[in-house]
Amino acid sequence: RTIQENLQGIECLSGIPGKVGAAPIQNIGAYGQELKDTFQKLTAYDFKKNKFVTIDNQGCQFGYRESMFKKPRNRGRYVIVDLTLKLFKGKLPSISYESLEEYLTKKEIMNPSVQEVRDAVLALRGQKIDDPRVLGNAGSFFKNPIVDRDVLSRLKRAYHNIPYYELVDGKVKLFAGWLIEKAGWKGKTFKNARISEKSALVITNPEGRATAKEIRELSEVISKDVYKKFKVKLEPEVQFIGF
């Protein structure tokens, strides 16, 4: 609907599975955009206070795939019922992600519209992430690690082609999927779970028999292997409930 209205600001979030109300919990993001960039406020029912409350951008304490809602003390406390975003009428999209820029360049789209960016994002997601309605998965399982430049320099001495994304605070974002693939896990099976053949960042449940315990165990084994190889710590993007 926002694309139809030519509203810019969330086009790169296209195709992320989940409901609008869940978006602030994770501070969802993709291809250089995050929800916090356009988020103004939300209304939630607070079970502790037994009333509806309004929480603004600062109050949500957004971070990289983080918010106040993911803190242990707040789990199960709130139900988000609506949220307000500030979008921009007719503003040209800002393309900051290398893979998205490369895709548009190959298509010879130099000044893309929000519709063209959305189409490109959906195409790229289809190449990288298995549809959870077809093959059970929770999308990107790990956060992309944020590291200091000296860590990047150390890794570049051994891996000249290591991909990274420069952040405004001087730090750099590495790509968890690349690290996991280089550690040899892409496409591998572990008990009843499997790392996706499309993206090493995705853990799948190919036959529907993998238990939550197996999924978590696999994630821990992967994290240990990546740390052993790169000395970079991976953190899960998903939430473990009931463990």
Instruction: Given the residues 14, 65, 66, 223, select the one marked as catalytic.
Output: 65
Please give the sequence-ordered ranges of beta strands (E in DSSP) within 3-77, or none if there are none: 7-8, 29-30, 33-34, 39-46, 51-56
User: Catalytic residue at 118?
Assistant: no
Residues in the chain: 243
What amino acid is encoded at 134 in this protein? V
Helix then strand then coil, % of the chain, to nearest 5: 35, 25, 45
Instruction: Given the residues 11, 34, 67, 140, select the one marked as catalytic.
Output: 140
d(CA 223, CA 233): 7
d(CA 42, CA 39): 8
User: Catalytic residue at 237?
Assistant: yes
> Which burial class, exposed, middle or buried, applies to 6 when counting CB atoms under 10 A from its CB (0-12, 13-18, 19+)?
middle
User: Catalytic residue at 75?
Assistant: no
For the annotated catalytic residues, the residue numbers are 65, 140, 237
